[in-house]
Amino acid sequence: MLTIVFDLDGTLVDTAPDLIGTLNVIFTQHGLPAVPLENARPLIGGGARAMIERALAREGRTCSPADVDALYAPFVTHYAAHIADCSRSYPHVESALDRLAGEGHRLAVCTNKLEWLSRRLLETLEFAGRFAAKGRFESRMASVPVKVITHPQPGLFGAAAAFAEEHRR
């Protein structure tokens, strides 16, 4: 039996429409131009704060960390409320996960998305029960202990697999 670790955004689930939709809502509220979905997909990766910074840089804007914070907080709030309006698993993901689980493999998710948002997305899409370990590996929770690992770093998925192995169901 193997422990198989998946990234979440862009691997299991196409979250780009909701991430970019949220970015555009927040930008519009702050008088900034919206970014078309097809131009914004490359901005995704490394977390929401990095996406915001990349989108601002694309517009030729430089911002202080405080300016980014002013966009980040409402981004998280809006995204949490619209986390799966358009986000869907990629074709055949569910059947592949079912097959792997049916073969006895333990499945885990490792992501740079905030842990509580990761859990909300997985629960909303009814994926949460499929994984032995999920989250950003950033905090300790009562129901699932989680160790501190930052994504992406070399060895991250191995560490997530070891964590899932330690916390078998």
Catalytic residue among 7, 9, 14, 18: 7
CA geometry: angle at 17 spanning 161 and 33, to 5°? 125
Annotation marks residue 69 as catalytic: no
CB-based contact 122:97 (threshold 8 Å): no
The residue whose two tokens read 């994504």 is 151
> Would you state the structure tokens that stand for residue 54, as one six-digit string?
């990349």
Cα–Cα distance, 72 to 50 (Å, whole number): 10
Residue 4 tokens, joined: 């198989």
Residue 42 is which amino acid? P
Residues noted as catalytic: 7
